Each structure stands twice: as C-alpha cells, then as structure tokens.
Amino acid sequence: MAEDLNWAVGGEAGDGIDSTGKIFAQALSRAGRHVFTSKDFASRIRGGYTAYKIRTAVDDVQSVVDRLDILVALTQRTIDENLDELHEGSAIIYDGERSWEAEIPDEITAVDVPLKSLAEEAGGAIMRNVVALGAACEIADFDVEYLDESLEKRFGGKGSKIVENNKEAARLGQEYVQENYDLDHLGYSLETTDNDYVLLNGNEAIGMGAIAAGCRFYAGYPITPATSIMEYLTGRIEEYGGHVVQAEDELSAINMALGGARAGARAMTATSGAGIDLMTETFGLIATSETPLVITDVQRSGPSTGMPTKQEQGDLNMALYAGHGEVPRFVVAPTTITECFWKTIEAFNLAEKYNTPVFLISDLAMSVTEQTFPPEAFDMDAVEIDRGKLVDDDTVGEWLDSQGRFRAHAATEDGVSPRAIPGTTDGAHMSTGLEHDELGRRTEETDVRVQQVDKRNRKVETAKEEEGWEYREFGNPDSDNLVLSWGSNEGALVEALDYLEEDDIDLRVISVPYIFPRPDLTDEIESAEDVIVVECNATGQFADLIEHDALTRVKRINKYTGVRFKADELAEQITEKLSAEVPA
Amino acid sequence: MSSDVRFTDFKSDKQPTWCPGCGDFGTMNGMMKALAETGNDPDNTFVVAGIGCSGKIGTYMHSYALHGVHGRALPVGQGVKMSRPDIEVMVAGGDGDGYSIGAGHFVHAVRRNVDMTYCVMDNRIYGLTKGQASPTSRSDFETSTTPEGPKQPPVNPLALALASGASFIAQSFASDALRHQEIVQEAIEHDGFGFVNVFSPCVTFNDVDTYDYFRDNLVDLEEEGHDPNDYEAAKEVILDSEKEYQGVMYQDENSVPYNEQHGVTEDMSEIPDGAPEDAMDLVREFY
C-alpha cells in the first residue's frame, strides 16, 4: 500500500475551500507526488459545509480512504463532520483567534495558528487559507517552495505583488508552527520526486478529448456537475475554430448540437440526468435521422432534483432506454479520468462511423476528482479520427439513384449509410424523424419500414463485430472471486485489492467501459465461484444487465448515500459478500 | 453555379399533401423563388422545419433539410448556421410550432440575431390536428376545444419579436405572391435574423381568417410610405390591433449578426485527421 498522506480543508462554501485545496494539490503534483482529490460540497453558493480532500503518495493513488491526517478546519462543523476519520496521529490546524472555540478531541493534535492576523501581516486577511497551507507544509515536512510554484501559477496573472504577498503568507504560517510547536512525533515527511505530472479532473479530460477529437461545436445548458465541461471548452475551443453556445434550455441545446452535426461539425452536448430527461424528446430524431452526435451525461443523485451535488450512477437505464420506440445507440462509460479523454475521442468516432447518437456517461465523482497523470497518458499523437462514410464532391456519385438523388439512408449491408454535409454537390437531401425511404422521404410502406428499421439496427450488429468492446482487468486473472464494475468505481476497486491481500483474499476485477454494446462476460462469469457487481445506485442496474446476459444470479454491492466508494470500505464489503449466500 | 439556378431546382419530386387551396403552397413558392433570386442553390441551402402542416415543407423542397420535432426548428437552424457560416439557413414553422411550443426558442433566436430567415406560416388555427385554437386565434374564435373561443387575447408575434430585440420584422400574405417573395428576399438579404410572419390561410378549418378577409383588410406598408428604419413608427404599426399589415415593419440598419459578434467565421466541418498539431498545449496547461 502506498505511504500516503490524507489532507483536507473544510469550511463554509464561499471560504475559498476549493481554490485552497487546488493550490495544495498542484504543489504536491509539482513535487512529483501522486494526488487524488475528492470534494464534498452542498448545493448552495455561500454557507453550508464544504471540503476538499487530498490523498497523496509517491506511488499511484486512485481512491480516497477513511482516514484523515491533517485537517485545516475553518469551522467547527469541519471537525465534527470528519471525526470518524481522524486518528491519534492527526493534526488539526485552526484559528483560535476567531470567534468560535474549536472543540478538538484530546487525542488529536490541535495546531492553533492565528491565520487571520498572519494573513493581514502578509498583506490581507483574504490570504488566511494560504497561511494555513504554509502551516500544513510544516506539519507534513513538505518543502514550501513547491507551494510557491503553485501560488505563482494561481496568482501570476494578478501581478507579482499578489504572488509575493501569498508566498509571504505561506512563510508566516510555516514559521509560526516551527516556532510554537514540536510536531516531529507525528512523523509526517513528504518525499518528492523528479516526475512530471499533470493534474486534472474527469470533466476537463472530457473537454480536452472533445477538442482533440475535432469537436468544434458545443451547445449546452448549465447544470451541476456537467457545467465545467462547457466552462473548459469556452475560451479554448475557439483557438481551434470552434464555438460554445449557452442555449436557453436543454431542448434547445440538443437541437442546436443536432444542427451543428448535420452541418458537418463534430458536435456535442453535455448535461446531467435531469437535462437528459428534457433532451430525450430529440433523442429518437437523432437516431432516426442518423445524425452523429455525442451526448454526455455526468450523472448525479436522482431522481428529480435528488441531491444535485452528490455522487450516483443511476442513469444507466436511461442511457440504454431513453426515448420512445426502438432506436440504435451506443453507450460508453469511461472508468478513469484518462479514459474520460480516450473514450470521448472514441465516442466521436463511433458517432460518425455509425451515424448515430453516442451516450458518454460519466459521474459526479469522476467529474470533480482531480488526479495526477504523466502527460504521456494523453498522448495526442495517438489520437485517431475516423469520419466514417463522409462523402465529398468526388464520391457522392456512388450514392445517387438513377434520377440523381442522394440515397442518404441507403440500406447497405453493414447498416451504415453515406453522409453528405451541406455544400456537397448533389448531396442535398432531407432527413426526418418520420419513417422514411432511402432518400429520406416519408413513408408508411411496410416493406420500406422494415428495411429501414433493420438497416438502423444492423449497424449495431456491424459495430459489435468491427469494434473492440474490451474490458479492463485487474487483480488475479485466475481468482475464483470475480468483481464487476462500471464507471468511476474502478480506482477504489484496484486499491481494495491491496487491502484484501492483507487478509489473503484475491480477486479478479473487471471494469467495463462499454454498456451497449458491451463485452460478452459469460465465460468469465461461469468460471468464477463468486460474482459481485459493484455500483453507485440502489437497484443494481448494471447487475441486472449482467444477470440477463449470463442467465445467473450475482451478488451486489450498492452504495447510494451520495458519496463514492472508498477503497478500504469496499474491501470490507467485498469480504462480507464473499461469505454471503447468492440471492435467490 | 447559382447564376443558372431556377426556383424549380428547389422543388422536390414529392407531391404536397396540403389541402387544395392551402396558403402553404404560396408561402413555399415564395420562399423557393426568394432563395433562387438571392443567388442560392440547393447544395448550399439548409431548410429546417418542425411539426404540423408547416413542417412538411422540407419534404416538398429540395435542399439540405431537416424535419425536426415540434417547436424546435429554430435551435436546429441556429446550430447549422453557427457551425457553417457559409450555408444559407431557412427555418419554416407554423403558429403553433413557433408561438406555442416553440415560443421560448423564438425569443432567444430573435435576441441572438443569427443570420438566417424564419418564415412562420400563420393560419391562426391548428390544422393537422383538425381545428383547435392556436396562439394566434382570435379570442372569440370557436373551435372543438374552445367552443366559446379561447377568450384570452392572441399572441402578437411581431410585438414579441420587437420586445426581444429583433433586427428584422416583416409580415406577408401567401396569396400576394410577388409581395410575399419580395419580403422574404429582404429577410434573406438582411444581416441577421430575418423574421417573416406569413398569413397562410387554412381553407379547411378557419372560416374567419380567409383569403377574402386578408384581401379586404391588408394594408401594404410600402404603399403607406412606412419607414422600416424608424423604430417608433415600427412600434406603432406592430402594436396597432385595429389593422392587418404586410411589408417590412422594422429593420435595424446597424444589425450585427451572431457569427460576426462572436467571431464564428470558420467552416467547422473541416478538422484534421488526428489531434490538432498544438494539442499537447492543452495537456501542458495542467502542469
């Protein structure tokens, strides 16, 4: 297991918790340490408990655990909320000068730092969080110069004075702890390395993947936790000749994206479950008109408004079945932040190769989690773009009927029709959500109806054969214990393997990035004694699919508290499940 | 190429299933003639329509086209134009499509001022669902679902457009073929969102807002010497509930279309074979 340090800052929303955490995470990343962050925030602008947690190690970290070593507490609630994660070796940094009197358990080391006064000394009370960061560096025995680099990055645009003041604030925090406390007995010492890492979250990876894949038109409507994809693309996509438009609602957003896609741009919209509900109206049109479009759903707790700032993987059935009638679609679910990048690129290729909508489903935990990676994990030279059967002036002729009309919905053997975009000579055609013939003209003729339905469904069959619907595998491939998962649970599962190893339990972990089509796991399931499906929802939507595919009952681990799985917690639950009966 | 384009090039070989005498025939003919007359051809034109009798228009015209879902034609048209500034975009809708289910989109399309043309075939009734009240039906207009009339006043789409900051507002009459074509032409040539409300009588279900009614009551603004650049004069005719007008009511001489405002000038359909050359910069940002 990685020698790790778990750090957190907590207070009220509006206290600058997020930026404080981000600055420290970046400093650790600059020091060549792995970082994995998680956020706990409420659905309000100011007030309410909010926290930013960092787990850092020299080895790769992919999960949060139930332990907190250093806590920067700006409110009593921060301490209360994290009591069960604090241990004898924990330290709490707080400001005893503030009006609240911190109630800190005796066994925890209380580090009282006059954050506000020291910040004022450095140039302004606003920097009290940076004072706390300096104090944290001292407790963790972490070189404060890495914090300087992070502060330069953060405040460089605001001028050297601001940067210097912040550095001074950090120094004052560090020195105060040095002079007033002896904390060597806590034993923290953060090793640094020469490794270069980048630090980013799942939504940033999706946005970056979209630009790399040639997405140039994005239409969306703000909704937690999908908005940051739009915010990432705004200001960056223009550099590549693209445009982001904030539509008046989700109905408009998906229809604008549809317009962009029909005009020939690689287009995307992103939303969360409640927004998908509204977009569903247009979903059948996209599939029937055979428009290549990527629709991203960053899941949050539902139903209805549910818990907008909390984790859940409850939209899988919606991605699979949304819309009336029967329409072909692909459902792709990245399992890690790097996969958010690669699967986004793949989603655009699939959409254009098969002229159909692709659901890219991520979740809140992945969208807000920042993690370190070597930059090569996003190797742009490895990006491949496949625009499918896009015709041009020279090739359009192959697809004209005897009267020179473009067969936009030609009933090909592989189910994939050619695609002509506006401006292509002789490619003019209409597309519609009405059942239509090969030319796109409305029809109610039974044989044409069957021809077109079969054609559209045939492309899924073609894709099943042509594409590699692989899964990701970890642990012992020969183990009798098989654990299946989808989405962001992968990291916690991978780390749970270490915990289980201590108890001599081995697992074969399969993490599935494709929901439809999905890999055939029948052999893997049949060769295992115990099969457990792990997911962040109450009913086990993925487990249902697995049972359906393999015609067998599986054990389920479901979490729907609104919080993602933690590695140690997951290890415990897996141990329990392994000795439990398979449900009838 | 466009020099020898004739309006019949915009005609598909599909026979319209509109009722004989429907105003939509004249509306569509005028749109096709205006497109040809302004130098467009089917390969550089995109027509979008929603649901209802008006929604069928894409089927009967020949161009790149999309027949979408009810009330959402405007967002589709905007998406096309935002990503392809080189393409001529024309959106057609009905009074139900545009002022009821699509009213929200109408307001926002108007204020974005995307350079496209929006023709609403306004027959003041729901035709395809066989004669219910529409948002522009008179308050005493008796229908199957409003036996005593809707009672509430009709929507004034021109006023809605004006209040939303429209840069071009016009009204035409499907049966006055030449004037209708001229007005649509002006809308196409306008730099921005060209909105034309077209009186397009429903001969089957509306026996009040008939061809005769419009012929007898329509006042042509051009003949009246109306200056469309005069905002106050435009406000007066648009808010005048006593008379029916045709012509260009308002045109903002300083209109700056959306793509220009946002610097959206590139053909977004053209992308490199792999990631853009400098794409590693995107990764380095996260150092």
Stretch A375-402: mean pLDDT, rounded? 98
Could you tell me how many residues make up chain B? 287
Q: What is the DSSP letter of A559?
A: -
pLDDT reading at A101 higher than 50: yes
> Is residue A208 less than 8 Å (CB to CB) from chain B?
yes
Query: Model's pTM, two decimal places?
Result: 0.96
> Is residue B14 less than 8 Å (CB to CB) from chain A?
yes
Determine whether the interchain pair A196/B279 forms a contact, defined as Cβ–Cβ distance below 8 Å.
no
Number of A/B CB contacts below 8 angstroms equals: 208
Amino acid at the residue A21: G
- Which residue, B100, B13, B107, is CA-closest to B51? B100
Q: Is B282 helix (H, G, I), strand (E, B) or coil?
A: helix
Cα–Cα separations (whole angstroms), residue A428 to A400, A497, B15, B59, B175: 11, 57, 18, 12, 29
pLDDT reading at A2 higher than 50: no
A510 φ/ψ angles, rounded to the nearest 5 degrees: -120, 120
Q: What is the pLDDT of residue B2?
A: 45
| Angstrom distance (rounded) from CA B8 to CA B12 | 8
In DSSP terms, A4 is beta-bridged to A57
Q: What is the pLDDT of residue B1?
A: 44
- Residues B47, B92: contact at Cβ < 8 Å? yes
> Is residue B52 less than 8 Å (CB to CB) from chain A?
no
- Residues A374, A195: contact at Cβ < 8 Å? yes
| Angstrom distance (rounded) from CA B118 to CA B136 | 17
> Is residue A233 less than 8 Å (CB to CB) from chain B?
no
Cis bond upstream, residue B75 (ω within 30): no
In DSSP terms, B45 is beta-bridged to B88
Q: What is the pLDDT of residue A64?
A: 85
Residues 176 through 205 of chain A touching chain B, CB cutoff 8 Å = 196-200, 204
Determine whether the interchain pair A243/B64 forms a contact, defined as Cβ–Cβ distance below 8 Å.
no
| Angstrom distance (rounded) from CA A78 to CA A279 | 39
- Give A422's contacts in chain B (Cβ within 8 Å): 43-46, 64, 80, 84, 87
Cα–Cα separations (whole angstroms), residue A104 to A71, A82, B211: 11, 11, 84
Binned at pLDDT 50, 70 and 90, residue A1 comes out as very low
| Angstrom distance (rounded) from CA A383 to CA A351 | 16
Q: What is the pLDDT of residue A151?
A: 97
* Residues contacting residue A458 through CB under 8 Å, at least 6 positions apart: A413, A414, A415
- Which residue, A3, A385, A361, A347, is CA-closest to A190? A3
- Residues B244, B214: contact at Cβ < 8 Å? yes
pLDDT reading at A580 higher than 50: yes
Determine whether the interchain pair B286/A432 forms a contact, defined as Cβ–Cβ distance below 8 Å.
no
pLDDT reading at A124 higher than 80: yes
Of A248, A381, A429, the CB nearest to B104: A248
Q: What is the pLDDT of residue A45?
A: 67
- Which residue, B258, B87, B284, B59, is CA-closest to A431? B59
Q: What is the pLDDT of residue B54?
A: 93
| Angstrom distance (rounded) from CA A294 to CA A332 | 10
* Residues contacting residue A342 through CB under 8 Å, at least 6 positions apart: A209, A334
Binned at pLDDT 50, 70 and 90, residue A46 comes out as low
Cis bond upstream, residue A334 (ω within 30): no
CA distance B281 to chain A (A): 10
Binned at pLDDT 50, 70 and 90, residue A14 comes out as confident
- Residues A251, A302: contact at Cβ < 8 Å? no
Q: What is the DSSP letter of B117?
A: E
- Give B267's contacts in chain A (Cβ within 8 Å): 264
* Residues contacting residue A321 through CB under 8 Å, at least 6 positions apart: none
Q: Bin A322: left if φ > 0, else alpha if -120 < ψ < 50, else beta.
A: beta
Question: A425: nearest CA in chain B?
Answer: B43
Determine whether the interchain pair A211/B276 forms a contact, defined as Cβ–Cβ distance below 8 Å.
yes
> Is residue B58 less than 8 Å (CB to CB) from chain A?
yes
First-to-last alpha carbon distance for chain A, in angstroms, is 37
* Residues contacting residue A413 through CB under 8 Å, at least 6 positions apart: A458
Average pLDDT, chain A: 96
Structure ipTM: 0.97
> Is residue B80 less than 8 Å (CB to CB) from chain A?
yes
Of B78, B280, B286, the CB nearest to A259: B78
Retrieve residue B135's tokens: 């948002």
CA distance A7 to chain B (A): 21
Retrieve residue A124's tokens: 């302004």
Stretch A357-364: mean pLDDT, rounded? 98
Stretch A520-536: mean pLDDT, rounded? 97
| Angstrom distance (rounded) from CA A578 to CA A236 | 48
Instruction: Count CB-CB contacts under 10 A for residue A93.
Output: 26
pLDDT reading at A510 higher than 50: yes
* Residues contacting residue A450 through CB under 8 Å, at least 6 positions apart: none
Residues 16 through 75 of chain A touching chain B, CB cutoff 8 Å = 29-30
* Residues contacting residue A65 through CB under 8 Å, at least 6 positions apart: A4, A6, A55, A495, A566, A567, A568
State the number of CA atoms in the 13 A half-sphere of A276 facing the CB: 31
- Tokens 């773009």: give the residue: A385
Which of A196, A215, A233, A262 should be substituted to probe chain B, the one whose Cβ sees the most B Cβ atoms within 10 Å? Answer: A262
Instruction: Count CB-CB contacts under 10 A for residue A188.
Output: 18
pLDDT reading at A584 higher than 80: no
Q: Is A169 helix (H, G, I), strand (E, B) or coil?
A: helix
Which of A391, A401, A432 should be substituted to probe chain B, the one whose Cβ sees the most B Cβ atoms within 10 Å? Answer: A432
Q: What is the DSSP letter of A442?
A: B
A59 φ/ψ angles, rounded to the nearest 5 degrees: -80, 165
> Is residue B44 less than 8 Å (CB to CB) from chain A?
yes
pLDDT reading at B190 higher than 70: yes
Q: What is the pLDDT of residues B226-247, one digit of tens each?
A: 999 999 999 999 999 999 999 9
Binned at pLDDT 50, 70 and 90, residue B158 comes out as very high
- Give A251's contacts in chain B (Cβ within 8 Å): 72, 75, 105
- Tokens 């639950």: give the residue: A573
